């Protein structure tokens, strides 16, 4: 699973391993590149499902 997250006003890309019944583990993180930062607000508004 990959996710995007703001950390200290920086958009980060996180790679998370999740197995049912276990605690999720972040196995890598990096700063989002410009193209990822530019599309993130639109994705949140139109495609993110928080249900």
Percent of the chain exceeding pLDDT 70 equals 82
Instruction: Give the number of domains in the chain.
Output: 1
Report if residue 18 sits inside a domain.
Answer: yes
pLDDT tens per residue across span 31-46: 889 998 889 889 888 9
As a whole number, the mean pLDDT across the chain is 84
Which of 14, 41, 42 has its CA nearest to residue 28? 14
Per-residue pLDDT at 25 exceeds 90: yes
pTM beyond 0.85: the answer is no
Q: Is residue 26 part of a domain?
A: yes
- Residue 51 placed within a domain: no
| Residue 15 CB partners (closer than 8 Å, separation 6+) | 1, 2, 26, 27, 28, 29
Q: Could you tell me the residue range of the domain that residue 34 belongs to?
A: 2-46
């Amino acid at each position: 699973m990959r996710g995007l997250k703001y950390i200290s006003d920086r958009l980060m890309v996180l790679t998370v391993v999740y197995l049912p019944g276990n605690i999720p583990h972040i196995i890598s993180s990096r700063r989002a590149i410009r193209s990822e930062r530019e599309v993130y607000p639109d994705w949140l508004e139109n495609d993110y499902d928080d249900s």
